[in-house]
């Protein structure tokens, strides 16, 4: 492999994403953690661009770096916003988990390592949004509509669960 | 008559059933039912016997149990031995029925008593009529039950309970031997029929080894039933039953069944020298062994019981020495005089309400009828010439001598001496001298009791003459007619044997008279010399204690050992499995600790494990 | 794609889904405009009516030949039809339970929402049953899941309900991620999300690395979906969630949601991995290759479910473990991959539907009246309400698999599958039967309470109409399916043609 | 009424009683008891009618009924289960025995003191199950009836039993559940491999030259069957449940349990284990005989030291079931017939003994031997029957126990004389423990507190006399059993190849 | 074509997936747990998008799939947070290890 610009970009983005993830694991202040994760999300958006998925990249920035991070921050603010106490779970569970994660990673890694898919040329980057739109509204119209139901459900559900009690219990 | 001989046992059976169903209403009248019905069967038996003198053996059978192609039959047979036994049984039974009317008077359970007697008589007659081993075994067990029930008649007495139990179990040990022997014989000959078995033996269809084995096993049954050593201990204890019962069952009939069995199967035994010798040895040993115990017992019935054991040993000795006729002959005479002795003893007990001879004495004058009758019995059993016992005992001694084992002969002679001694010891202690305890209202038994004794007394005197060296061996000739395998009709022993026998009995009587009659010799003279011996004898060689220590303890030990296994091994495994499952559940529910991350972790690690296993085994890496 | 093309599809085959969707939408609007004070119970009846209508619509199409819309994003085949009956029937009964559900705290103001969220959950499940496209299946799955999360937490002033929903969401999220991760590899190796397309692409797979990766994907999808089945190792959420959720929701989760999980797992795994060679062309399919893993999971599920159930004192928790165990039994049918697999799974789900919902009807009634979910509340039920006790007795016997009840026939079906073929699953069947015996302990423990123990109170139970109907239907069906199982089996045999159109 | 509907009516007639009872009030004690008793009568009458029909030389095949029932897969040819009932000599005898003992147990149930309605409903359900077990010609149907006996028993023990009733009920349930679970596996393997569960077809297919089952699989299935029925019988060491049931269950139920339910194990061994796997059975027969001797001795020795009379009888049942095993293990016509006789005989005898235990318990509130004693004084009839029962049990000739024991040993002695000889120790031990217990209870000094106890009365005579009559009848005239058995036995022996 | 091998993207996705998983199963604050799950879903999306371009048969479907995944993830996050808020009202805690009123 050559050190093309694309590669450097990938390396940087990947590094940022992983660092964001590692920070998530190691920081103690919850707000900091979420900020760290924003880096990851943005980096992932960059990766999408490398993968000729501009529309997804846009969606990624909007939804993850924007919406989800914000509601999570809201969530933190609404609850214990200054919570920094990050008690560690018991050692054996972490060890257990770590072993599991490593094992899993190892097994999957040998599957994807040097994976040669011999892809054909493609034209995803051309009019990416148009392609997505066409596919979405023709072939995938049923899941699309179903997703709207799902969003409605999530909306209603979030409201009824999160809204303050009218009966003034508190 | 012979064709309908099967009716004979039905009379007592009928008596049993009637009394079972209506006994409560009949109360004392039950006795009449029993007496009449046994009388009927006695009459019938006598008629059959007379017919048998002229007619040949009659046998009739029908299928009883079908097993596939196998048809086991049941029926009856009237041959010489049967016919004779039938009369003996019916006669003694009828007499005892009559006697009991007086003896049991006042007991509210008379109907039950007569019912049991009926059952026993039925079984005994059935046993005698059986044409095959299986049927024999069936009635063999049934007589055991009759005996058991009657021994335990006084159920509220602990001793009776124990004695009944003991009798049943001890005889059952013997029965199992009989059962095994019979079954093995069946698989060798494919039949339970006596005829078939004898035929197979004659034709050599069975190997010698099998003959010996089965014969010995069958003999085990006889040992149990006839109270031979080492299964004799139940018989003296059986005296807990009412005395008429002792007379009927434990003297005259049932205990003789063992002898009868050996006699009935004589061709089989005769085919094996080993078997015969074993029988002879056991018989001789039992004869002297029981007689020696009888020397020192103080319970009137127990003395008689040991005497019975001893006499049965005699009979076995006779059969074992190939003296078929001698054995059967003694069986008959013994039935009469021993029944007489027991009934007389019963009469004594009835009068004085004790069984301890130490407390008796001087009853000769008070019991004017019982005394002489008892004396007749005593003389007969002691082998005093001219009485029945003399002839039969002489036959036996002759057979033993001819059998070629002088030691056995010697034992028999000594036993005869002992017999004479202890019987007269008994007689003198009971009837002569002064009463050794306070005795009130001693009076002779009523006629209903004395009449049977008189009949038996007569028979005890004359029954010997059916087979004497002087007036002809009618019985022996008849018994062995048409059957070579039964041996000679009469063993012509050397003449001195009769003299020796007579002398020996007289010596015994004389010694007894010296000690107990005239009291010229102190009673301690003997017991003082052999103190230890006396104790051993008095305690019956500690056989009971020995069994208690060994067999009973062993059984109990085994039981407790198995219970240990049951509790700890069997249950333990079950508990272990249950505990394992429970433990699994406990662990599982501990892991379920309410932490959602644990749940996720378990799920994921589960996945990871599967994935890693897949990578290591099923994956393309391999 | 023009409007004409869109109109050319047989949208009519989606009639049941449309009915449910329309009524759900209608209810949500009604809920907005109806005065707060009006009783929302009527929603429940509307919902039941909608489901009945959907069942009728489905029944009308029962002999409809296999049809699909838009490249299999929706497909109506025998498989989807018969299984949708289970989903619809189960939901109708659960709704009846819900109508009679009067908890002491928590869900007064969200009753309206409850009903239409319930319908959307059902919609998601139905989509899972009748789609041949991974994306649609996934969205359907999530629609079911997210609706269920909310339903589980709908008693929002109840700490247990909150906690249950929270646990459900977190575990559900992880399971979704794992499933998707697996699906992403499947997509990557085939370039399509259409199940038929995937199958066609993979049928001639030769690259061992691909096969390996697909094996991993299989495990990920399987374990991810095991969450829905509440099968080991993804079962641990179930007891907590079942316990905390409102009883009708618990019933829904244990029956409808679980059935949907089985439908999905059968559809996805069988279509994708049933034809993919594990080791070059001509070798056995990956599915068969992974049979041992499925068996292992089935065995573990049965053991865990039944063994831990022994220690439960809370009736809902107990039934959670019992439902784990039943998932294990059905997995046995799946693991044996025999020619009666569909029959066995379908029949068992049907039987399970009736026996479990019936039991939940009683549980709901008793725990609501007594204000406690402890098993000891059942003490003396026999004295207090003999008929109720007898009904519960029959249902529990069916759950324990005693003959004369549907549960037994279900097990027989599974056994037939397990023992036929060249590779009989003796060990698995033995585990199944042994754990069934273990289950007698806790099932009969309940019966002990009901029949042997004295009652604390003598008051009789007033059985609400809804519960009465559910109980009657469930008990009747349990017994009828147990004695005359062919009422159901023939229905399936006559209308499915041995599921030959499953892969068409 | 055509003959082919006789069996269906016979089997399901008790359910009519269940239906009637369901609509009665629990307080109508007398009426409930009468209905319960009456409901057992149709089965009894029909069973006897079948018996005399067969004895009259007519064909038992007249009673066979077959109707298509369950069709597990679409394919019409395989995997369907027919509702098929029928009789052969063996099952006829078992049906008659069941009907008789059920009726007598219903009489004995008059001692039940609470919840009569539930009791009789379950009781009648149990009867249907038992009758079904013996008449099924189809393994799956058999299994269904088999399990139908399980549930009512659980409740009958658990609700109407004595102090540790629930433990006993669970013990019963789990052991038998395990046994029937194993049985189910065997049945399902057979069903799955052959596509049929008809017993006759199975015998053909399994033993055909081209059997779908390999020899080792057949052996495995046979061993599983032995374990399954071994639990029921019970064979050492699978017996501990049955002790608890004997002690804790109400006597009327123990009559049924000991009288019939245990016999299902023996029936199954003969009908299925021997019938379907004759070749393999020959290989394990020796082991069975050995186990039989162990059972016989183990039960006998343990019965010898029990303090509770019920325990004595419980271990005695184990011991007597050993004789069944001995007979089966002998593997010849004699032994097998002996085993069947023993099944019937022990059924009658243990029913009698447990009925009497119930009578004693009802009057004295104890069944501990040491607390009793001298009962022959106050209740001579009951004591007499107890003794007679014990005599029958210990194999007294003239009673049924002897015939069966004799044949079993006769059979075993043919090929395994040494083992059989060891087994005969059991005969002695049986006498020892039974006499110890029975004499302990009835002989000796009477306890004062029991002085006024009532003897047998009224309806109590019915079971006692009936059972005693049957015991003696079989003992005296064994052809009542052996003649209907003839054909069935021939069939079995033909299967065994000799 | 491209100089970056597909496996690099896949490896990145794998790493992120594992990080997300580890976070979801070890972090104490429920909000972080929820967001870790989002990270896992993001990793899946990387996979999908990668395959969309470099897969055996590149197609737009992968991106569509990713879009759906993003939508669903968002909905899930919202619902999760709503439930958390409801829980917080009652329990006054966001610590996941304190949610153990139901266990065993």
- The residue of chain E nearest to residue A112, with distances taken between CA atoms, is E7
B134, B141, B187 ranked by CB distance to D413: nearest: B187
Nearest-CA neighbor of B427 among B323, B305, B300? B300
Asked if A97 and B621 come within 8 Å (Cβ–Cβ), the reply is no
Asked if E3 and A4 come within 8 Å (Cβ–Cβ), the reply is yes
CA–CA gap between residue B370 and residue B365 (Å, rounded): 10
CA–CA gap between residue B414 and residue B504 (Å, rounded): 8
DSSP-derived 3-state class of residue C207: coil
D298, D427, D436 ranked by CB distance to B562: nearest: D298
DSSP character at residue C314? B
pLDDT at C108: 67
> Do the domain assignments include residue C365?
yes
Asked if B594 and E26 come within 8 Å (Cβ–Cβ), the reply is no
**Measured between CB atoms, does B604 come within 8 Å of chain A?**
yes
Asked if chain D contacts chain C via 3 or more Cβ pairs within 8 Å, the reply is yes
Query: Per-residue pLDDT averaged across C486-495, rounded?
Result: 87
pLDDT at B620: 58
DSSP collapsed to 3 states, D377-398 = HHCHHHHHHHHHHHHHHCCCCC
**Measured between CB atoms, does B168 come within 8 Å of chain D?**
yes
Q: Which residues of B touch E (CB under 8 A)?
A: 589-590, 592-597, 600-601, 604
> Do the domain assignments include residue C420?
yes
Q: Which long-range CB contacts under 8 A does B71-76 form with residues at least 24 apart?
A: B72/B134, B72/B192, B73/B132, B73/B193, B74/B132, B74/B134, B74/B135, B75/B6, B75/B131, B75/B132, B75/B135, B76/B5, B76/B6, B76/B129, B76/B130, B76/B131
pLDDT at C157: 85
pLDDT at C72: 85
Asked if E78 and A114 come within 8 Å (Cβ–Cβ), the reply is no
**Measured between CB atoms, does C185 come within 8 Å of chain E?**
yes
pLDDT at C106: 60
Asked if A1 and E5 come within 8 Å (Cβ–Cβ), the reply is yes
Asked if C223 and B594 come within 8 Å (Cβ–Cβ), the reply is no
Query: Per-residue pLDDT averaged across A113-123, rounded?
Result: 74
Domain E6-91 architecture: Orthogonal Bundle (1.10)
Tally of residues, chain C: 504
pLDDT at A31: 86
> Do the domain assignments include residue C138?
no
Work out the angle at residue B289's Cα, subtended by the Cα atoms of residues B287 and B293, and round it to the nearest 5 degrees. 115
**Measured between CB atoms, does E98 come within 8 Å of chain A?**
no
Residues in chain E closer than 8 A to A95 (CB atoms): none
| pLDDT tens-digit readout, C159-205 | 899 999 999 999 999 999 999 999 999 999 898 999 999 998 888 88
pLDDT at A65: 85
Average pLDDT of chain A to the nearest whole number: 84
pLDDT at E34: 92
CA–CA gap between residue C290 and residue C306 (Å, rounded): 25
CA–CA gap between residue E45 and residue E71 (Å, rounded): 11
Low-confidence ranges of chain B (pLDDT < 70): 484-493, 523-530, 618-622
B581, B584, B599 ranked by CB distance to C236: nearest: B599
- Cis before D237 (ω within 30): yes
| pLDDT tens-digit readout, E57-98 | 888 899 999 999 999 999 999 999 999 998 988 888 888 888
CA–CA gap between residue B206 and residue B275 (Å, rounded): 15
- Map out the domains of chain E as residue ranges: 6-91
pLDDT at C354: 95
Q: Please name the chains neighbouring D, where neighbouring means 3+ C-beta pairs under 8 angstroms.
A: B, C
Residue C79 pLDDT greater than 70, yes or no: yes
- The residue of chain E nearest to residue C140, with distances taken between CA atoms, is E72
CA–CA gap between residue B105 and residue B108 (Å, rounded): 8
**Measured between CB atoms, does E49 come within 8 Å of chain C?**
no
Asked if B588 and C307 come within 8 Å (Cβ–Cβ), the reply is yes
Residues in chain A closer than 8 A to B605 (CB atoms): 96-97, 99-100
- Find which of B597, B599, B602 to mutate to test the E interface (most E CBs within 10 Å of its CB): B597
pLDDT band, residue A170 (cuts 50/70/90): very low
Percent of chain A past pLDDT 90, that is, above it, reads 31
Percent of chain C past pLDDT 70, that is, above it, reads 98
C175, C278, C311 ranked by CB distance to B585: nearest: C311
**Hey, what are C436's tokens?**
């069934």
Beta-bridge partner residues of C133: C194
| pLDDT tens-digit readout, D137-151 | 999 999 999 999 999
pLDDT at A89: 65
Residue C404 pLDDT greater than 60, yes or no: yes
D71, D79, D174 ranked by CB distance to C437: nearest: D174
Q: Within 10 A of D459 (CB to CB), how many other CB atoms are there?
A: 12
pLDDT at B366: 81
- Of B354-368, C60-74, C335-349, the range with the lowest mean pLDDT is B354-368
CA distance B23 to chain C (A): 48
Residues in chain A closer than 8 A to B607 (CB atoms): 100, 104
| CB-based contact B235:B154 (threshold 8 Å) | no
CA–CA gap between residue C81 and residue C58 (Å, rounded): 7
Distances B310 to B235, B280, B287, D94 between C-alpha atoms, Å: 11, 13, 4, 51
**Measured between CB atoms, does D307 come within 8 Å of chain B?**
no
Residue D183 pLDDT greater than 50, yes or no: yes
Instruction: Output phi, psi for D441, to 5 deg.
Output: -80, -40
Domain that holds residue C298: 292-504
Counted domains in chain C = 1
| pLDDT tens-digit readout, C232-276 | 899 999 999 999 999 999 999 999 999 999 999 999 999 888 888
Q: Please name the chains neighbouring C, where neighbouring means 3+ C-beta pairs under 8 angstroms.
A: A, B, D, E
Residues in chain A closer than 8 A to E54 (CB atoms): 51, 117, 119
Instruction: Output phi, psi for B58, to 5 deg.
Output: -115, 135
Q: Which residues of E touch B (CB under 8 A)?
A: 21, 24-26, 33, 96-97, 99-104
| pLDDT tens-digit readout, D226-266 | 999 999 888 888 888 999 999 999 999 999 999 999 999 99
pLDDT band, residue E2 (cuts 50/70/90): low
- Sign of the Cα torsion D164, D166, D170, D173 reads positive
pLDDT band, residue D76 (cuts 50/70/90): low
Q: Which residues of C touch A (CB under 8 A)?
A: 1, 6, 21, 24, 28, 69-71, 73-74, 109-110, 113, 116-117, 120, 123-124, 127, 131, 133, 135-136, 138-140, 142-143, 146-147, 149-150, 153-154, 156-157, 165, 185, 188-189, 209, 212-213, 216
Q: For tokens 């050190």, what's the residue? A: A3
> Do the domain assignments include residue C370?
yes
pLDDT at B158: 87
pLDDT at B525: 64
Residue A169 pLDDT greater than 50, yes or no: no
| CB-based contact A158:E78 (threshold 8 Å) | yes
Q: Which residues of B touch C (CB under 8 A)?
A: 581-582, 584-586, 588-589, 591-592, 594, 596-600, 602-607, 610-611, 614-615, 618-621
| pLDDT tens-digit readout, C98-132 | 988 887 766 667 788 899 999 999 999 999 999 99
- The residue of chain E nearest to residue A81, with distances taken between CA atoms, is E94
| pLDDT tens-digit readout, C129-157 | 999 999 999 999 999 999 999 999 998 88
| pLDDT tens-digit readout, A55-75 | 999 999 998 888 888 888 888
Query: Per-residue pLDDT averaged across D202-229, rounded?
Result: 90
Residues in chain D closer than 8 A to C420 (CB atoms): 192-193
Asked if C143 and A154 come within 8 Å (Cβ–Cβ), the reply is no
| pLDDT tens-digit readout, D386-401 | 999 999 999 888 899 9
pLDDT band, residue D46 (cuts 50/70/90): very high
ipTM, two decimals: 0.91
Nearest-CA neighbor of B55 among B75, B76, B81, B79? B79
Q: Please name the chains neighbouring A, where neighbouring means 3+ C-beta pairs under 8 angstroms.
A: B, C, E
Nearest-CA neighbor of D417 among C140, B183, A77? B183
H helices present in C109-233, as ranges: 111-129, 134-152, 159-190, 195-202, 208-229
Instruction: Output phi, psi for D81, to 5 deg.
Output: -115, 125
């Amino acid at each position: 492999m050559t050190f093309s610009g694309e590669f450097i970009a990938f390396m940087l983005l990947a590094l940022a994403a992983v660092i964001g993830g590692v920070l998530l694991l190691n920081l103690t202040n919850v707000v900091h953690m979420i900020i760290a994760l924003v880096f990851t999300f943005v980096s992932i958006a960059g990766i999408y661009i490398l993968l000729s998925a501009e529309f997804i990249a846009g969606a990624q920035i909007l939804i993850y770096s924007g919406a989800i991070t914000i509601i999570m921050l809201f969530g933190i603010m609404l609850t214990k916003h200054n919570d920094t106490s990050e008690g560690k779970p018991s050692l054996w569970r972490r060890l257990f988990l770590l072993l599991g994660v490593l094992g899993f990673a190892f097994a999957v890694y040998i599957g994807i390592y040097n994976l040669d898919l011999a892809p054909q040329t493609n034209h995803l980057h051309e009019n990416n949004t148009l392609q997505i739109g066409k596919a979405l509204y023709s072939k995938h119209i049923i899941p699309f509509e179903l997703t709207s139901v799902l969003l409605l459900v999530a909306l209603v559900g979030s409201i009824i669960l999160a809204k303050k009690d009218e009966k003034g219990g508190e | 008559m012979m064709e309908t001989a099967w009716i004979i046992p039905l009379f007592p059976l009928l008596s049993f059933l009637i009394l079972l169903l209506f006994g409560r209403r009949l109360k004392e009248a039950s006795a009449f039912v029993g007496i009449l019905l046994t009388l009927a069967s006695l009459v019938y038996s006598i008629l059959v016997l007379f017919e048998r003198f002229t007619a040949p053996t009659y046998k009739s059978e029908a299928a009883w149990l079908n097993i596939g192609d196998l048809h086991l039959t049941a029926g009856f047979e009237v041959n010489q031995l049967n016919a004779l036994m039938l009369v003996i049984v019916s006669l003694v039974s009828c007499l005892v029925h009559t006697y009991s009317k007086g003896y049991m008077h006042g007991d509210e359970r008379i109907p039950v008593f007569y019912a049991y007697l009926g059952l026993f008589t039925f079984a005994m007659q059935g046993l005698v009529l059986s044409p095959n081993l299986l049927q024999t075994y069936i009635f063999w067990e049934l007589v055991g039950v009759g005996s058991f029930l009657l021994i335990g008649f006084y159920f509220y007495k602990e001793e009776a309970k124990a004695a009944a139990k003991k009798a049943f179990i001890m005889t059952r040990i013997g029965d199992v031997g009989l059962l095994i022997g019979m079954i093995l014989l069946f698989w060798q000959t494919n039949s339970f029929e006596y005829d078939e078995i004898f035929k197979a033996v004659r034709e050599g269809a069975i190997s010698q080894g099998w003959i010996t084995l089965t014969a010995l096993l069958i003999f085990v049954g006889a040992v149990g039933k006839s109270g031979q050593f080492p299964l004799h201990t139940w018989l003296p204890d059986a005296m807990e039953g009412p005395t008429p019962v002792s007379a009927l069952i434990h003297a005259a009939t049932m205990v003789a069944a063992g002898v009868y069995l050996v006699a009935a199967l004589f061709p089989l035994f005769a085919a094996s020298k080993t078997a015969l010798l074993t029988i002879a040895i056991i018989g001789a040993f039992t004869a002297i062994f029981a007689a020696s115990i009888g020397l020192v017992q103080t319970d009137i019935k127990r003395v008689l019981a040991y005497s019975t054991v001893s006499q049965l040993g005699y009979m076995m000795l006779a059969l074992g020495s190939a003296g078929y006729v001698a054995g059967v002959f003694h069986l008959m005479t013994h039935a009469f005089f021993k029944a007489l002795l027991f009934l007389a003893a019963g009469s004594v007990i009835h009068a004085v309400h004790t069984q301890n001879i130490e407390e008796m004495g001087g009853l000769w004058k008070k019991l004017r009828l019982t005394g002489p009758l008892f004396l007749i019995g005593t003389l007969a059993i002691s082998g005093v010439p001219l009485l029945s016992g003399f002839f039969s005992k002489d036959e036996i001694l002759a057979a033993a001598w001819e059998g070629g084992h002088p030691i056995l002969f010697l034992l028999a002679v000594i036993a005869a001496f002992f017999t004479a001694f202890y019987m007269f010891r008994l007689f003198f202690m009971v009837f002569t001298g002064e009463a050794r305890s306070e005795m009130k209202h001693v009076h002779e038994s009523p006629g209903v009791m004395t009449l049977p004794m008189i009949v038996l007394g007569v028979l005890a005197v004359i029954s010997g003459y059916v087979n004497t060296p002087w007036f002809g061996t009618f019985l022996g000739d008849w018994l062995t007619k048409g059957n070579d395998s039964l041996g000679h009709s009469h063993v012509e022993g050397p003449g001195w044997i009769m003299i020796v026998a007579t002398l020996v009995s007289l010596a015994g009587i004389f010694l007894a008279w010296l000690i107990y009659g005239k009291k010229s010799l102190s009673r301690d003279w003997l017991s003082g010399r052999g103190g230890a011996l006396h104790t051993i004898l008095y305690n019956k060689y500690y056989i009971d204690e020995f069994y208690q220590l060994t067999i009973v303890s062993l059984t109990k030990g085994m039981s407790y050992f198995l219970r240990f296994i049951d509790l700890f091994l069997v249950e333990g495994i079950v508990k272990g499995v249950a505990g394992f499952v429970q433990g699994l559940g406990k662990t599982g529910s501990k892991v379920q600790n309410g932490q959602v991350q644990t749940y996720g972790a378990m799920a994921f690690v589960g996945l990871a494990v599967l994935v890693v296993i897949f990578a290591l085994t099923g994956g393309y890496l391999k | 794609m023009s409007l004409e093309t869109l109109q050319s599809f047989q949208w009519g085959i989606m009639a049941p889904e449309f009915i449910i969707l329309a009524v759900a939408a209608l209810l949500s609007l009604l809920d907005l405009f109806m005065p707060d004070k009006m009783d929302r119970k009527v929603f429940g009846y509307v919902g039941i009516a909608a489901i009945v209508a959907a069942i009728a619509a489905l029944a009308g199409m029962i002999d409809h030949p296999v049809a699909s819309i838009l490249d299999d994003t929706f497909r109506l085949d025998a498989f989807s039809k018969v299984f949708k009956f289970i989903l619809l029937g189960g939901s109708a009964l659960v709704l009846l339970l819900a109508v009679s559900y009067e908890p002491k705290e928590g869900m007064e103001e969200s009753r309206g929402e409850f009903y239409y969220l319930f319908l959307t959950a059902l919609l998601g499940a139905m989509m899972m049953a009748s789609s041949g496209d991974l994306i649609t299946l996934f969205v359907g799955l999530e629609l079911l899941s997210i609706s269920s999360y909310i339903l589980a937490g709908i008693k929002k002033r109840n700490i247990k309900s909150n906690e249950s929903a929270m646990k459900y969401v977190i575990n559900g999220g992880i399971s979704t991620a794992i499933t998707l991760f697996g699906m992403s590899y499947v997509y990557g190796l085939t370039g399509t999300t259409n199940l038929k397309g995937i199958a066609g692409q993979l049928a001639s797979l030769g690259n061992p690395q691909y096969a390996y990766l697909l094996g991993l994907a299989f495990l990920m999808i399987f374990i991810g979906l095991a969450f829905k089945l509440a099968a080991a190792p993804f079962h641990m959420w179930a007891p907590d969630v079942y316990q905390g959720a409102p009883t009708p929701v618990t019933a829904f989760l244990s029956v409808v949601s679980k059935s949907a999980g089985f439908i999905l797992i059968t559809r996805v795994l069988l279509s994708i991995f049933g034809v993919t060679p594990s080791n070059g062309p001509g070798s056995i399919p990956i599915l068969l290759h992974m049979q041992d893993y499925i068996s292992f999971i089935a065995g573990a599920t049965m053991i865990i479910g039944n063994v831990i159930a022994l220690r439960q004192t809370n009736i809902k928790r107990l039934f959670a473990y019992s439902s784990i165990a039943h998932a294990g039994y059905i997995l046995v049918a799946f693991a044996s991959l025999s020619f009666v697999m569909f029959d066995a799974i379908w029949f068992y789900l049907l039987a399970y539907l009736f026996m479990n919902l019936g039991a939940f009807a009683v549980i709901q009634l008793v725990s609501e009246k007594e204000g406690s979910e402890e098993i000891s509340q059942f003490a003396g039920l026999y004295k207090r309400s003999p008929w109720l006790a007898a009904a519960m007795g029959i249902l529990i016997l069916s759950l324990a698999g005693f003959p004369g009840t549907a549960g037994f026939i279900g097990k027989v079906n599974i056994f037939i599958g397990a023992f036929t073929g060249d590779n009989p699953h003796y060990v698995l069947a033995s585990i199944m039967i042994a754990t069934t015996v273990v289950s007698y302990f806790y099932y009969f423990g309940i019966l002990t309470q009901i029949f042997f123990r004295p009652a604390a109170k003598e008051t009789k139970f007033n059985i609400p109409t809804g519960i009465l109907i559910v109980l009657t239907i469930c008990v009747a069906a349990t017994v009828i399916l147990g004695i005359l199982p062919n009422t159901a089996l023939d229905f399936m045999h006559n209308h499915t043609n041995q599921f030959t159109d499953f892969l068409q | 009424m055509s003959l082919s509907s006789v069996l269906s009516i016979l089997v399901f007639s008790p359910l009519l009683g269940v239906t009637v009872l369901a609509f009665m009030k629990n307080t109508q004690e007398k009426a409930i008891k009468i209905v319960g008793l009456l409901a057992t009568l149709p089965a009894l009458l029909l069973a006897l009618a079948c018996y005399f029909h067969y004895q009259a030389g007519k064909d038992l095949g007249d009673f066979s009924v077959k109707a298509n029932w369950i069709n597990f897969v679409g394919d019409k040819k395989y995997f369907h289960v027919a509702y098929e009932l029928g009789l052969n000599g063996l099952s006829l005898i078992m049906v008659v025995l069941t009907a008789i003992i059920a009726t007598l147990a219903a009489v004995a149930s008059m001692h039940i003191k609470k919840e009569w309605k539930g009791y009789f409903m379950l009781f009648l359900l149990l009867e249907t199950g038992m009758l079904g077990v013996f008449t099924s010609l189809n393994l799956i149907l058999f299994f269904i009836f088999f399990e139908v006996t399980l549930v009512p028993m659980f409740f009958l023990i658990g609700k109407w039993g004595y102090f540790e009733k629930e433990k006993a009920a669970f013990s019963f349930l789990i052991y038998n559940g395990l046994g029937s679970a194993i049985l189910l596996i065997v049945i399902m393997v057979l069903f799955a491999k052959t596509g049929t569960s008809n017993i006759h077809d199975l015998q053909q297919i399994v033993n055909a030259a081209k059997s779908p089952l390999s020899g080792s699989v057949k052996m495995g299935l046979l061993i599983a069957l032995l374990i399954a029925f071994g639990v029921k019988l019970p064979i050492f060491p699978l017996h501990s449940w049955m002790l608890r049931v004997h002690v804790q269950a109400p006597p009327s139920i123990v009559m049924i349990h000991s009288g019939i339910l245990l016999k299902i194990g023996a029936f199954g061994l003969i009908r299925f284990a021997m019938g379907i796997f004759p070749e393999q059975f020959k290989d394990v027969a020796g082991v069975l005989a050995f186990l039989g001797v162990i059972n016989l001795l183990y039960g006998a020795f343990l019965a010898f030291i029990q303090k509770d009379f019920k325990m004595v009888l419980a271990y005695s049942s184990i011991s007597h079931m050993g004789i069944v095993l001995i007979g089966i293990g002998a593997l010849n016509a004699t032994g097998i017939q002996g085993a069947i006789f023993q099944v019937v005989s022990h059924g009658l005898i243990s029913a009698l003994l447990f009925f009497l235990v119930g009578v004693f318990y009802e009057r004295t509130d104890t069944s501990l031997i040491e607390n009793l004693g001298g009962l022959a004084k106050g209740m001579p009839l009951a004591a007499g029957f107890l003794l007679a029962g014990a005599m029958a049990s210990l194999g007294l000739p003239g009673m049924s126990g002897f015939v069966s024991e004799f044949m079993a040993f006769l059979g075993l002695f043919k090929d395994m004389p040494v083992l059989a000889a060891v087994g005969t120790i059991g005969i002695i031990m049986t006498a020892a423990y039974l006499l110890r217990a029975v004499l302990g209870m009835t002989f000796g000094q009477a306890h004062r507190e029991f002085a006024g106890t009532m003897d047998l009365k009224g309806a109590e005579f019915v079971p006692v006399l009936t059972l005693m009559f049957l015991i003696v009848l079989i003992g005296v005239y064994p052809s009542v059993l052996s003649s209907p058995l003839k054909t069935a036995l021939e069939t079995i022996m033909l299967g065994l190849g000799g | 074509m491209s100089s970056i091998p597909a496996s690099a993207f896949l490896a990145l996705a794998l790493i992120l997936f594992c990080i997300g998983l580890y976070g979801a199963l070890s972090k104490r604050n429920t909000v972080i747990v929820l967001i870790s799950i989002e990270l896992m879903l993001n990793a899946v999306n990387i996979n999908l998008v990668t395959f969309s371009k470099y897969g055996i048969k590149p197609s737009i479907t992968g991106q569509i799939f990713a879009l759906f995944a993003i939508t669903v993830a968002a909905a899930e996050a919202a619902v999760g947070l709503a439930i958390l808020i409801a829980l917080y009202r009652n329990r006054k805690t966001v610590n996941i290890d304190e949610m153990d009123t139901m266990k065993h």
